[in-house]
Amino acid sequence: MTATFEHARPAACPACVGAPAAEHLADLPKQARVMLSLPGIHCAACISGVERTLMAVPGVMDARVNLTLRRAAVEAGADITAEDLSAVLARAGYEAHELDPGVLAMTEADRQGRDLMMRLAVAFFAMMNVMLLSVAVWSGADGVTRDMMHWISAAIAIPAVIFCGRPFYASAWGALRGGRLNMDVPISLAIGLAVGTSLYETIHSGHHAYFDAAIMLCFFLLAGRYLDHRTRASARSAAQELAALEVPRATRLTDAGEAVVSVADLAPGDIVRVKPGGRIPVDGVVTAGTSELDRALMTGESLPVYAGPGHAVSAGEVNLTGPLTVEVRAAGRDTALHRIADLVAVAEAGRNNYTSLADQAAKLYAPGVHILSFLAAVGWYLYTQDLRIALNIAAAVLIITCPCALGLAVPAVTTAASGRLFRKGLLIKDGTALERLAEADTVVFDKTGTLTTGTPEAVDLSVIPRAHAPVALALAAASSHPLAEALARGLRDRGVTPAAVADITEKAGYGVEGIWQGQAVRLGRAGWTGAKDSPETATYLRVGDTAPLAIAFTDTLREGAAELVASLRAQGKRVMMISGDSRTAVDRFAARIGIDEAVAEALPEQKVAAVQAIAEAGGKVLMVGDGLNDTAALAAAHVSISPASALDAARSASDMVLMGRSLSPVADAITTAGSAGRRIRENFTIATVYNVLAVPLAVVGLCSPLIAALAMSASSLTVSLNAIRLK
Amino acid sequence: MDVLGILIPVSLFLGLVGLGIFFWMLKRGQFDDPEGDAHRILREDYDDHPKS
């Protein structure tokens, strides 16, 4: 799919050579760093294979595979483009997609991860050492020895807590300044109060110091944060960095000649030229040239449509066969492309603000903890008139209720779940996506490019007489029209070799013709070959004066699509298909794949309306789509998935991205989401039970540092172990 | 109890050395691809003539 649009890059376009402006634009740095996404790799042989394949390409200086992130980084000369490398890998049997080497953004995410890891390491070091000293105190060290242990603990714990807790303090401060309470407020307060009272106790040679508890709290919470960060950062960067397909440049024709300009500089009335394979940058009218347009991503139509002088075209469509000269009617913000973008913005604003399970818990938890520890402190102060005891109790309550387990409950489960799904080729971009996916009860599919691969395949090639097949192949190979390409592919697979056809010329918008053994041969549209037009998708072959032969085509089913629909129906979900394609094509396809509810000829607005109507009736929609026409519906749905071949806009509007070709991970994702939701709720229950047991101890003043340490680590471990159980 | 005067500084020092080594490894990117590194040691590509 991606390959269709890639020739729009200026560097790879031979026609740009000679145009000085274009040459300037194509002036890339000498050494380009190419990043490729490799969703299919999984073992040592894959690493070796990919690296060896890449290194064998002339001009590649270094190639390194990262198996954890399913990526390859390639150091290559400027003349090597990512699509060359993907093609080489595809021939070697590895699926590869280009990643935008937004190196800056990536190192940024990386830096954050390393920062957290650093703090985690410091917390671990400090925790282990302080714990060692605390064991001495718990086992009965007394007097001067105990004080010394406390002082050394303080010397280790105080700097460590200040360094490690920074992410929490920053977030808590941000929340307080905004007048809100989040989970980090009680955390910061607990750490601060514990360290403060412990220091006071140490100075006055008291019995109890909570340095170990404070640093342990930091460690467990940082572990949760780090897991959370790692899951989201890797998925987000990969999803966003899949190369942008839109090229914001156009070739403008003026009296002075051709010039490559930015689309933003175009005004209505300008004349632009769109080469075959290029994306139309503006809305306009064709003034010269004939061609065919691929509108699949704009409207969902699976078949190319004819375009000639006088036909209206809109931005985002792809010119397939012949060069077109287009008079600009609208550019930039006024184009149909932008109207869809506006529709997305509206749909996103209308989307309910989903409150994640963690947020719901925090909303109950944070005020509750504060009130409880405040009441305990007040009670003890009134009872003993001793502020020191009262503060000690307040600190103990805050520490014992510390949301260690709560802080790990969600991240541990989502890490386990998204790791599983990542290995199957599904990226989760949004932290709450799994929770929302678990709630989905209606699944809405787009047709073209989602349930189908968007490439046609011939229904039955044996209709072509044996003698004519080589002629058909010779003609088909000369065209880049999707039907011709599919025909050529199909014939080559059957072992046909092209015949010697002379004078092959492509008549853009009509077909290909040539001379074979003295007879005129044509492959193309019905009218042009003298055949009767039929509603079927077909191309026609005419050899000499024989009757034209229809070669029918059908959409290729995407891998795993039929199984997915069947399994969704078995799970009792409502399955729908909303497509922009024609009635006959949609109905035939729906019957083939087993979907009862199918809407055809839907405009982007109607897709959104359909999704919203289901939502208003109480349904939770999972939308799966790839086109620009689906983008608004993807944004409006409760949760959404798009394939890697989808347009940039569609991918960024959806919550999850399928990295591979197959649709089957979607079914896995739904199952995993369901069990992840159950695990998260179980984890909350565990954390609550532990609090219910331990809080009374703290309130009545029976909570020693030993009990706090045991309770804290026990609850964190149970929660993590429960998360690993995820199937 | 006097031995604590030696043991505690020694254990802290050793811990700090470990922490330092961890930071160094983190900076060198040794944790960037744990899964891949686990597989890499199994292949024979560079056994006879190491890459660098």
Amino acid at A497: T
- Between strands A31-37 and A71-77, the pairing is antiparallel
| Termini Cα distance of chain B | 51
Could you report the per-residue pLDDT of A237-251, keeping only the tens digit for each?
444 444 333 445 678
Give whole-number Cα distances, A167 to A154, A219, A222, A364, in Å. Answer: 21, 12, 9, 22
- Confidence check: pLDDT of A41 > 60: yes
- Confidence check: pLDDT of A20 > 50: no
Across the interface, do B26 and A118 touch by the CB < 8 Å criterion? yes
Give the CATH architecture of domain A454-557.
3-Layer(aba) Sandwich (3.40)
CB-nearest partner of A66 from B8, B36, B42: B36
How far apart CA A682 and CA A400 sit, in angstroms, is 20
pLDDT at res. B1: 64
Amino acid at A577: M
Sorting pLDDT into bands at 50, 70 and 90, what band is A10? Answer: very low
pLDDT at res. B49: 64
Across the interface, do A121 and B23 touch by the CB < 8 Å criterion? yes
Across the interface, do B26 and A68 touch by the CB < 8 Å criterion? no
Question: Does residue B3 fall inside a structural domain?
Answer: yes
Mean of pLDDT values over A634-662: 79
How far apart CA A676 and CA A670 sit, in angstroms, is 10
pLDDT at res. A698: 82
pLDDT at res. A471: 84
User: What is the dihedral sign for C-alpha A333, A335, A337, A342?
Assistant: positive
User: What is the crossing angle of helices B4-27 and A103-138, to 10°?
Assistant: 170
The full set of domain ranges for chain A reads 425-452+558-664, 454-557
User: Could you report the predicted ipTM of this complex, rounded to two decimals?
Assistant: 0.82
Mean of pLDDT values over A354-381: 80
Mean of pLDDT values over B33-40: 82
How far apart CA A602 and CA A578 sit, in angstroms, is 7
How far apart CA B8 and CA A32 sit, in angstroms, is 53
Higher pLDDT, A37 or A573: A573
Q: Say how many C-beta atoms besides its own lie within 10 A of residue A403's C-beta.
A: 26
How far apart CA A507 and CA A540 sit, in angstroms, is 14
How far apart CA A98 and CA A81 sit, in angstroms, is 9
How far apart CA A201 and CA A157 sit, in angstroms, is 15
When divided into structural domains, chain B yields a total of 1
Q: Chains A, B: CB contacts under 8 A, how many? A: 53
Q: Which residue has the tokens 């979900």?
A: A573
Closest by alpha carbon to A220, among A719, A726, A725? A719
Residue A522 DSSP symbol:
E
pLDDT at res. A535: 66
pLDDT at res. A154: 93
H, E, C per residue of A81-126: CHHHHHHHHHHCCCCCEEECCCHHHHHHHHHHHHHHHHHHHHHHHH
**Residue A240 Cα, gap to closest chain B Cα (Å):** 20
State the best of A120, A125, A234 to mutate against chain B, taking most chain B CBs within 10 Å. A125
Active site residue A386: no
Beta-strand (E) ranges in A212-270?
249-254, 257-262
Q: Say how many C-beta atoms besides its own lie within 10 A of residue A394's C-beta.
A: 27
Closest by alpha carbon to A402, among A200, A689, A191, A121? A191
Across the interface, do B43 and A47 touch by the CB < 8 Å criterion? yes
Name A286's Cβ contacts closer than 8 Å, sequence gap at least 6. Answer: A307, A308, A309, A310, A311, A312, A313, A324, A325, A326, A327
- Confidence check: pLDDT of A721 > 50: yes
User: What is the crossing angle of helices A211-241 and A387-400, to 10°?
Assistant: 40
Contacts of A47 in chain B (CB under 8 A): 36, 39-40, 43
pLDDT above 70 as % of chain A: 85
- Confidence check: pLDDT of A232 > 70: no
B2 reaches A (C-beta below 8 A): no
Mean of pLDDT values over A111-118: 83
pLDDT at res. A339: 66
- Confidence check: pLDDT of A16 > 50: no
How far apart CA A63 and CA A55 sit, in angstroms, is 6
Closest residue on chain A to B15 (Cα): A125
Residue A405 DSSP symbol:
H
Sorting pLDDT into bands at 50, 70 and 90, what band is A343? Answer: low
For chain A, the helix, strand and coil percentages under 3-state DSSP, each to the nearest 5: 55, 20, 30
Domain assignment of residue B16, given as a range: 1-30
User: What is the dihedral sign for C-alpha A193, A197, A203, A206?
Assistant: negative
Lowest mean pLDDT among A151-160, A303-312, A604-613: A303-312
CATH topology for A425-452+558-664? Rossmann fold (3.40.50)
Q: How far is CA B48 from the centre of its chain?
A: 25
* Residues A397/A695, Cβ–Cβ less than 8 Å: yes
A223 reaches B (C-beta below 8 A): no
* Strand order across the A324-330 sheet: A257-262, A249-254, A271-274, A324-330, A283-288, A312-313
Q: Which residue has the tokens 């010779």?
A: A474
H, E, C per residue of B15-45: HHHHHHHHHHHHHCCCCCCHHHHHHHCCCCC
B9 reaches A (C-beta below 8 A): no
pLDDT at res. A109: 54
pLDDT at res. A119: 92
Across the interface, do A69 and B18 touch by the CB < 8 Å criterion? no
How far apart CA A452 and CA A296 sit, in angstroms, is 11
Helix (H) or strand (E) holding A163: helix A143-164
CB-nearest partner of A44 from B8, B12, B43: B43
How far apart CA A224 and CA A242 sit, in angstroms, is 28
How far apart CA A636 and CA A108 sit, in angstroms, is 30
pLDDT at res. A14: 37
Question: Does residue B42 fall inside a structural domain?
Answer: no
Question: Does residue B51 fall inside a structural domain?
Answer: no
* Residue A179, φ and ψ in degrees, nearest 5: 75, 25
Beta-strand (E) ranges in A323-441?
324-330, 426-428
Q: How far is CA A87 from the centre of its chain?
A: 22
Contacts of A128 in chain B (CB under 8 A): 15
Question: Does residue B47 fall inside a structural domain?
Answer: no
Across the interface, do A67 and B26 touch by the CB < 8 Å criterion? no
* Residues A153/B12, Cβ–Cβ less than 8 Å: no
Closest residue on chain A to B27 (Cα): A114
- Between strands A639-643 and A621-624, the pairing is parallel
How far apart CA B48 and CA A694 sit, in angstroms, is 61
* Residues A163/A115, Cβ–Cβ less than 8 Å: no
Q: Which of residues 60-79 of A touch B (CB under 8 A)?
A: 65-69
**How many residues belong to chain B?**
52
Beta-strand (E) ranges in A178-333?
249-254, 257-262, 271-274, 283-288, 291-294, 305-307, 312-313, 318-319, 324-330
Closest residue on chain A to B21 (Cα): A121
Mean per-residue pLDDT of chain A? 79
Contacts of B26 in chain A (CB under 8 A): 114, 117-118, 121
Q: Which residue has the tokens 């209709």?
A: A463
Question: Does residue B52 fall inside a structural domain?
Answer: no
* Strand order across the A318-319 sheet: A305-307, A291-294, A318-319
Contacts of A48 in chain B (CB under 8 A): 43, 45
CB-nearest partner of B36 from A65, A117, A128: A65
Across the interface, do A44 and B18 touch by the CB < 8 Å criterion? no
* Residues A163/A127, Cβ–Cβ less than 8 Å: no
pLDDT at res. A8: 35
